[in-house]
Amino acid sequence: MERVRPLASRRRLLAGAAALATVPYALLSGTRAEARPRAVDHPTAEWQPASGSNYTKSSRPTAYPLDHVVIHVTQETYADTLAIFQNPQKRVSAHYVVRSSDGHIAQCVREADIAWHAGNWDYNTRSIGIEHEGWVDRPAYFTDALYESSAALTAAICARYGIPKDRAHIIGHHEVPGSDHTDPGPLWDWSRYIRLVNFM
């Protein structure tokens, strides 16, 4: 029969806590704490931060009103898109990237900050940019998982900032004034997407 170890006394526990309180904060807040991921704005997103050289720190919606969501298609793989956003020489980012295969979401820039995604400073300041893994001419990348995950993300963003869930406020990159991009392209199913956003 195994002997049960006696529980530590309250006095011993308090003495241990007092000893811990004397340990310098610098020793407790080492690299392990620093390596913890930053909290995300969307609960199912994974924090994959863009380089600080690729976006502008801000305090939106206080500094700028948020009134648009801009839909992009990466023209790259999911992994390559994250690598581009993490490269300080690329000077580009988006708030989110949605993976084609399973709808997994990476958050790269906090919603309060200004991602450099639209190619138009005014629209950058007023919008959340969502990249979708794929190519404009390869509809197989626009999976059910991608549409549904992205629509739930967009619906949550619209709810957070009071953005109407319509095509005037949820726009493609090609609709940003001055844009020379074509994404999300003619194969993106806008009717389905807006319906899903409003269903969420």
131 is catalytic: yes
Between CA 73 and CA 137 the distance in angstroms is 10
Q: Which of 2, 46, 111, 131 is catalytic?
A: 131
CB atoms within 10 A of CB 124: 21
Beta-strand runs (E) in the chain: 46-47, 55-56, 68-73, 96-98, 105-107, 114-115, 127-132, 170-172
Beta-strand runs (E) in 13-133: 46-47, 55-56, 68-73, 96-98, 105-107, 114-115, 127-132
Which residues are known catalytic residues?
131
